[in-house]
Amino acid sequence: MKLHDLGFEKWFETHASELRREVSDIARVSAVDRGAYLIRNESGEVPAELTGKLSYMIESPVDLPCVGDWVAIQYYDNAMAAVIHGVFPRKTLLRRKTAGANVEFQMIAANIDAAFIVQSCHFDFNPNRLDRYLVMAAGGGVEPIVMLTKTDLISQDELQQKIAVINSAHKTRILTVSNLTGSGLDELQQTLCPGKTYCLLGSSGVGKTTIINRLIGREAFDIKPVSGTGEGTHTTSRRQLIVLSQGAMLIDTPGMRELALVGTGDGLNAGFEDLVRLSVKCRYANCSHEHEPGCAVRAAVESGELSKDRYSSYMKLRKESEYYEMSYLDKRKKDKAFGRFIKSYKKQMKD
Ligand SMILES: Nc1nc2c(ncn2[C@@H]2O[C@H](COP(=O)(O)OP(=O)(O)OP(=O)(O)O)[C@@H](O)[C@H]2O)c(=O)[nH]1
Ligand SMILES: [Mg+2]
Ligand SMILES: [Zn+2]
């Protein structure tokens, strides 16, 4: 495999003549975890870290290498590890504003040819959110392709309606797939060009990782079932560049919680006093109002005292907030595990 096959073009060289003179080796960042990097070269993946000089020179998070970046490197330990001297200029860049008072950017991926904006046809379909992703892609100079997943869960008519909704507002290309039946996967394969890099963006649970597994042809990466209400449970915890055997590259990303609706416990209860009042009468203090016997909330729904809609919107919101809090912890755990993995990997290499 040549660097060209990994997406290295003349453009990078002509825009980084200085970097090129200082260091001779080049590789592509394939995974990042706070200070620990994996880089991909002609023969495989190698752990890497920044040189002290580079860390010192970095002024903002945007200057740090991110997945998809081309970096000038130097190997040590028989090319089993490397240090990163500098980041090549980026042709395109996916980033988003982080939540909070200060406008800061979080890097998603660099040097992406096209971004698949993935929404599930089922619970996740949301034209407003789609707009936000399209703005993000346009801002970074990345071609967007809308991908609707889980088409097996709705009828052909419903699918056509959703496509019409998108078409009425955007000229973006739309792909529809079912990972379950395999419908649409051929067209996706044909869309992916060798040497080009694609990024999968979208909420948790929409099937981003499942698509990659389908394309690879085996369960190479973890996926997790979504809950009964359709919300996912953050399974992918880091961004990672994968090279398909047909030659195209894909970057899987964790679902983005900030772009979704989040209601926290107290705020949620404040909007549902009627439900909270009822729940005092439930047999169990920690009743989830789902299947416990003696649940006063469900009894109220059955008697008509509480509307079904109100009950289900409460349950949906509560699931979402619980799930985001939980998945954040989950994510932290996984991030730590990756850090440890890199460390032990490096140690192994040195021994
Ligand atoms: N019915 C149906 N289920 C699907 C489809 N694609 C994925 N799923 C299921 O949806 C669940 C979530 O899939 P993932 O691939 O983990 O979703 P993800 O987008 O990677 O989620 P995060 O990693 O959390 O961002 C899994 O249980 C999959 O089996 C599909 O086309 N149809
Ligand atoms: Mg995933
Ligand atoms: Zn109850």
Cβ 204 under 6 angstroms from ligand 1: yes
Mean per-residue pLDDT, 51-73: 89
Q: Which atom of ligand 1 is nearest to the CA of 179?
A: 31
Model confidence pLDDT, tens digit, residues 107-150: 899 999 999 999 999 778 888 788 878 888 888 889 999 999 99
From residue 139, give the alpha-carbon distance in Å to each of 67, 97, 256, 278. 18, 12, 18, 48
- CA of 47 relative to ligand 2 center, distance in Å: 22
The CB of 176 under 6 Å from ligand 1? The reply is no
> Looking at residues 17-26, what average pLDDT do you find?
73
**What is the amino acid identity at position 197?**
T
Q: Which span out of 47-56, 172-181, 323-332, 342-351 was modeled with the highest average pLDDT?
A: 172-181
* 3-state SS assignment for residue 20: helix
Structural domain 261-345, CATH architecture = Orthogonal Bundle (1.10)
Could you list which residues have their CB under 5 Å from ion ligand 3? 282, 287, 289, 295, 297
209-223 pLDDT, tens per residue? 999 999 988 776 776
> What class does CATH assign to 93-259?
alpha beta
Nearest CA to ligand 1 atom 30: 150
Q: How confident is the model at residue 259 (pLDDT cuts 50, 70, 90)?
A: very low
pLDDT band at 281 (very low <50, low <70, confident <90, very high): confident
Q: Give the distance from CA 200 to its chain's centroid.
A: 7
| CATH H superfamily, domain 3-91 | Nucleic acid-binding proteins (2.40.50.140)
Determine if ligand 1 sits within 6 Å of the CB of residue 234.
yes
Confidence of residue 231 (pLDDT cuts 50, 70, 90): very low
Pocket test for ligand 1, best of 151, 185, 222, 223 (most atoms within 8 A of CB): 223
**pLDDT interval class at 349 (50, 70, 90):** low
Sign of CA dihedral 32, 35, 36, 39: positive
User: Is 10 a residue whose pLDDT tops 80?
Assistant: yes
At residue 265, the pLDDT reads 40
Residue for token pair 């929409």 = 206
> Domain extents for the chain?
3-91, 93-259, 261-345
Mean pLDDT for the stretch of residues 178-199: 96
> Is the shortest distance between the CB of 184 and ligand 1 below 6 Å?
no
Residue whose CA is closest, atom 24 of ligand 1? 234
Q: What does DSSP say about strands 81-87 and 70-76: parallel, antiparallel, or unpaired?
A: antiparallel
pLDDT of residue 57: 85
Length of the chain: 351
Span between the terminal Cα atoms of the chain, in Å: 28
Amino acid 289 reads H
At 266, the pLDDT band (50, 70, 90 cuts) reads: very low
Closest CA to 169 of 137, 118, 134: 134
Expressed in angstroms and rounded, the spacing between residue 226 Cα and the centre of ligand 3 is 23
E-strand stretches of 253-344: none
Q: What is the largest CA-CA distance in the chain?
A: 78
Q: Over the Cα atoms of the chain, what is R_g? A: 23
Least confident of 82-91, 112-121, 269-278: 269-278
